[in-house]
Amino acid sequence: MAATAGDARAAHVAKAFKYGLKGITGYLEPAERELLRGLLDDVISMLEPQQSSNEDPLTALIGLDMNVKEPSDRALLRLLPNVMKNDDAASLEFRQLTERSLREGKIGALRATAMGLDRNELVLTLEEAKFWSMALNDVRLVLAERLDIRDEADADHVHAMQDWSQAEDVESYLALVYNFTTWLQESLVQAMMAAMDRKP
């Protein structure tokens, strides 16, 4: 697991989420909103199920997908993991029953977050904040796969990248984006915990 990224502030001008009288509030610059929107859209398009023309509309309606396979893309597999560690057949069977609704749930949280970015003021209810934290988490999981973060040492290496003036290649740019989303999610979760403490 990753510890906090509390020192990532200097790299950007967003304000940490906090919990106060108005609820959970944050602030993002237009360029940061644009960046997040792009990331959310990327993950949404990864998760949108491929439409097959010969699909039985009834099975689709009840959420079944008999054509589903274990994802070959590592990032997608991380978002939609196998339910059993050493039983591929049982995992696939479970996937047929559940993957479609899992994808839809994730897309719902990602879309809700993207819509929230369109508002002038970032004031979130606890329910909205939950969708934001889920969406940011999925964005980070995908970025981490692209950055090849396999263990804590890799994560530390990426985390050390904090200076935007050093971003010369795609990998260092991705690392900075990853660190930004990590910092944003951490501040959001702290604000949510504070909100939960007040609401027993």
Partner 1 sequence: MTTTVAPGTNAATCTVTDAGLKGEERTDISEQSSTDLLGAADIPWNLVVWNDPVNLMSYVSYVFQSYFGYSEAKSNKLMLEVHKKGRSIVAHGGKEQVEQHAVAMHGYGLWATVEKASSGGDGRGRKGGARG
Query: Considering the rule CB under 8 A, would residue 127 count as an interface residue with partner 1?
Result: no
Residues 155-174 that bind partner 1 (CB under 8 A): 155
**How far, in Å, CA of 58 to CA of 42, rounded?**
29
Q: How far is the CB of 57 from partner 1 (least distance, A)?
A: 23
**How far, in Å, CA of 168 to CA of 180, rounded?**
17
Q: Where are the alpha helices (DSSP H) in 62-87?
A: 74-79
Query: Considering the rule CB under 8 A, would residue 4 count as an interface residue with partner 1?
Result: yes
Query: Considering the rule CB under 8 A, would residue 106 count as an interface residue with partner 1?
Result: yes
Q: How far is the CB of 2 from partner 1 (least distance, A)?
A: 5
Q: Which is nearer to partner 1, 168 or 182 (CB)?
A: 182
Query: Considering the rule CB under 8 A, would residue 90 count as an interface residue with partner 1?
Result: yes
Q: Which residue pairs from 151-160 have beta carbons closer than 8 angstroms and sit at least 24 positions apart in sequence?
A: 152/2, 155/2, 159/2, 159/5
**How far, in Å, CA of 94 to CA of 139, rounded?**
24
Let me know if 182 is exposed, middle or buried by CB neighbors in 10 A (0-12, 13-18, 19+): buried
Query: Considering the rule CB under 8 A, would residue 128 count as an interface residue with partner 1?
Result: no
* Contact positions vs partner 1 (CB under 8 A): 1-4, 6, 78-90, 94, 98, 101-102, 105-106, 130, 133-134, 137-138, 140-141, 144, 149-152, 154-155, 182, 185-186, 189-190, 192-193, 196
